[in-house]
Structure 1
Amino acid sequence: MSLTDTKIPEARTAAHDREQSWSRAAFALTTVGWGANQFAPMVVLYRERLGISASAAEAVFGLYAAGLVPGLLIAGPLSDRVGRRPVVLFAVLLSMVSGGVLMLGSHGLAWLSVGRVLMGIASGSAFSAGSAWVKELSTAPGAGARRASIGMTIGFGLGPLVAGLLAQWGPAAFETPYLPQLVLAALALALVTRTPETVPRRRSRILTADLLRLRGFSDRRFVGVVLPMAPWVFGAATIAMIYVPGLAASHVKSISLAFAGAAAVTTAMAGVVIQPFARRIAIAETDRDGGRPWLLILGLGLTIGGMLAEAAVASLGRLGVWQAVLALAVAVVVGFGYGVLLVFGLAEVQRLAPPEDLAAMTAVFQAFTYLGFAAPYLLSALKGVASPSMLLLGVTALGALTLAVTLRNARATAQIS
């Protein structure tokens, strides 16, 4: 046997180990996603037991974006320089610090606000660097975007479900719901340290003005199609997770916290279930000119239909407990739209981005998706202007406008993307 013959199996083993390592990076995404969304049912807890107003509680929920956007925009390009592993390790550690701060939330809004901002920074760091890491560790064609989005979404769904159940029936309702994420994060730290690095560290200076340069804005399709769609990913999802359940919670007072968790997990898990189907459409569209992006049409179509249904649910308070049941049913439709749009956005970024800018462009896309976290707060702040159902009809009309604009831009950029 020659030396070459012995190296071939070794190379195959290394490639196999690398392919299997994507699940460790994806678990880190799940852990941070869990921490990001476990706060959803806690909004109801703080409203009911601390007397915090709906708009204040939803504003604290949205403060997450204040930390997340800079975390995304800095951590993505930083991981292109120093590597994915150190950035993801930092994110998981910071998510644990955030959980500890949030456990002090019963002592005042300041603790909740700081905890949510820290969780935003952790999430931004993990989602930008981690999504790129999963993609680079995935050798199967087109699997990276699906695996990254499923990893995040599983955390988004299970986090609020477990937190809601513990807050409803567990001891120490203000502290216990945050403990499972701390355990998962400790496990994620051990796994991430054993995950192969995919980016060689650059010899050049790390902290330069170029680090803060936003990538992707010179690409017409990215600016005209991907970014206008992006806020709908979490804008519609948080309406189904936070805003509409808040309207119906009074009809299920005895299980309001569990109901809030169920609404969040229903939305998130619907997004997971639809993603393999969405990924098949995304792969089929790679060979087309992009002038008629069916995945975008499907995602925004489901979102528009979901918002229209949410408007109907919001007007049916007289149905009592059945309003809560209908809210869960409509959350499935909204979740489908969320999952499809997330896959579309990540697939477009991976198709458009140069390899050296992948994490940075992913960060810009995700920063725009998280602008949608402001939706529940904005709707609550406008309660004196119009009824919830009328506000949601306005959201529906805005969704239809977004679909029209992005389709026009998709046709205009089809030949140059």
Structure 2
Amino acid sequence: MATLAVAGNPATGTRTTTRAWLAVSTAIFAIAWGGNEFTPLLVMYKRDGLPLATVDLLLFEYVLGIVPALLIGGPLSDRYGRRPLMRPAPLIAAAGSLLLAFGSSSVPMLSAGRVLSGVALGLAMAVGSSWLKELSSPPFAPETASGTGARRSAMSLTAGFGIGAGVAGVLAQWGPWPGTLPYLINVTLCLAAAAWLLRTPETAVPQPRPGRLLDDLKIPAIAHRRFRLIVLPVALWLFACSATAYAIMPTLMMPKVHGAPIAFSALITVVTLGCGFGIQSAARRLDRPGTIRLPVLTLALVLAGMALAAAASATLSLWLAFATAMVLGAGYGIGLVAGLVEIERMARPDDLAGLTAVFYSVSYLGFAVPAIMAVLHEDAGLGYPAMFLALAAAVVGCLALVARGRNA
């Protein structure tokens, strides 16, 4: 049974429990499940006749929902509170999953479902992460170690991404209604999470006389030198890691796993995100405030992962594909914690949601990598090994930027 917190809720004047953060964590988990359950099914859609570039664009399309929801949802939640923005998010995710469940033969329905999934995920990341961070701190919870809220948010997202993909892949490979049942499970989860959120306390006092929304959309902390030279170079690679590991590798390895390609795709996704999830609990112990330890470790892992991806795509080795997933997953996991912890330290209360939104918006651009590489491969004849080596060279450039910002 949860115990009562020492202090009350300043937004509502009521007492709250130390476990209130669990409801938000569960909602983030369910929404992340819905955002990533599509990923292992990429192989199924390609096998069933959708063009490779079209499927990779569908993967990227939910960024069209994520970015606006991130950039607008965060400042709006600073203005009106977390509850009005976050409570509809699981319902939006459920609507997206319903469209995906019954639109497997319709690209427009798949596109709409992906965009709605993105809107929900954007709200979960910007508003949910801020709400979770606040519920993990006094007066809503006892004093916790620095970065606890960021770590809980990162782990909720990563667990949802990984478990959702794993369950969806297994059901699509061996279960009934492969293009429908995985999404319906997520609908159930999202509805349950939405019901639990109804009892979660507000943490941000709504502004009685809000000014112009345009002013709220301005985030002065973006100009912070440490944000520009350390956080953004890390953000660029977070979902480029994920997209490389579980969107590109399974497609390249299809000739090697023709017996169970969807299950293999799901396994690669679970390995990637499992490594990311597992390393996040260790990331806090490795962190040292004011240093660049975590950002450098992140980019070193990304660099190694891109080199492995080049080797795997050249040899079509399943073992190298798994090694790629493990290393890139670890880079994603540490990078997510590193970015959120840096933001938590530099942001003012009224900047937290907005700065988190910018961080995630930049990171999600990485999901364009599979579509760009597919077009370059098909239209320009570029090989995947050469393109992965080019990405590795870009990572080296980001390491140089981070080194410049060490004293910021």
Q: Which residue of 1 aligns with 2:394?
A: 398
Contact 1:73-1:363 at 8 Å conserved across structures = yes
Question: Could you tell me how far apart the structure 2 residues matched to 1:104 and 1:80 are?
Answer: 36
5+ residue gaps, structure 2: 10-14, 138-143
| Higher helix residue share | 1
User: After superposition, where does 1:173-188 map in structure 2 within 5 Å?
Assistant: 173-188=178-193
Question: Could you tell me how far apart the structure 1 residues matched to 2:244 and 2:373 are?
Answer: 9
Question: Could you tell me how far apart the structure 1 residues matched to 2:119 and 2:329 are?
Answer: 25
1:161 aligns with one of 161, 166, 170: 166
Q: What's the CA shift for 1:409? A: 2.6
Q: Which residue of 1 aligns with 2:145?
A: 141
Q: What's the CA shift for 1:157? A: 0.2
Kindly indicate whether residue 210 of structure 2 is the aligned counterpart of residue 216 of structure 1. no
User: After superposition, where does 1:5-404 map in structure 2 within 5 Å?
Assistant: 12=6, 17-49=16-48, 51-139=49-137, 140-142=144-146, 143-205=148-210, 208-282=213-287, 285-286=288-289, 288=290, 290=291, 293-317=292-316, 323-383=317-377, 384-404=380-400
Measured at CA, do residues 35 and 215 of structure 1 come closer, stay the same or move farther in structure 2, by a change above 3 Å? farther
Q: Which residue of 2 aligns with 1:407?
A: 403
Q: What's the CA shift for 1:73? A: 0.3
Contact 1:73-1:214 at 8 Å conserved across structures = no
Cα shift readout 1:345-365 (whole Å, capped 9, x = no counterpart) = 000100110111111111111
Question: Could you tell me how far apart the structure 2 residues matched to 1:105 and 1:245 are?
Answer: 23
Measured at CA, do residues 11 and 262 of structure 1 come closer, stay the same or move farther in structure 2, by a change above 3 Å? closer
Question: Could you tell me how far apart the structure 1 residues matched to 2:275 and 2:235 are?
Answer: 18
Please state whether the residue corresponding to 1:172 is helix, strand or coil. Answer: coil
Question: Could you tell me how far apart the structure 1 residues matched to 2:369 and 2:121 are?
Answer: 19
Contact 2:4-2:17 at 8 Å conserved across structures = no
Question: Could you tell me how far apart the structure 1 residues matched to 2:215 and 2:255 are?
Answer: 51
Q: What's the CA shift for 1:215? A: 4.6
Please list every run of at least 4 consecutive aligned residues from structure 1 whose deviation after the TM superposition is greater than 3 angstroms.
Answer: 13-18
Question: Could you tell me how far apart the structure 2 residues matched to 1:54 and 1:195 are?
Answer: 43
Question: Could you tell me how far apart the structure 2 residues matched to 1:360 and 1:35 are?
Answer: 23
Contact 1:128-1:359 at 8 Å conserved across structures = yes
Please state whether the residue corresponding to 1:254 is helix, strand or coil. Answer: coil
Q: TM-score if structure 1 supplies the norm length?
A: 0.90
Question: Could you tell me how far apart the structure 2 residues matched to 1:217 and 1:274 are?
Answer: 28
Deviates more, 1:331-340 or 1:78-87: 78-87
Structure 2: which amino acid aligns with 1:103? A
Cα shift readout 1:332-381 (whole Å, capped 9, x = no counterpart) = 11111101111110001001101111111111111111111111111111
Q: Which residue of 1 aligns with 2:140?
A: none
Question: Could you tell me how far apart the structure 2 residues matched to 1:175 and 1:325 are?
Answer: 31
Cα shift readout 1:60-95 (whole Å, capped 9, x = no counterpart) = 100111110111000011111221122111111100
Question: Could you tell me how far apart the structure 2 residues matched to 1:211 and 1:94 are?
Answer: 24
Contact 1:81-1:206 at 8 Å conserved across structures = no
Please state whether the residue corresponding to 1:12 is helix, strand or coil. Answer: strand
Question: Could you tell me how far apart the structure 2 residues matched to 1:89 and 1:186 are?
Answer: 11
Contact 2:63-2:364 at 8 Å conserved across structures = yes
Cα shift readout 1:206-254 (whole Å, capped 9, x = no counterpart) = 7622233245322121122211221201111210011111100221112
Structure 1: which amino acid aligns with 2:189? L
Contact 2:151-2:337 at 8 Å conserved across structures = yes
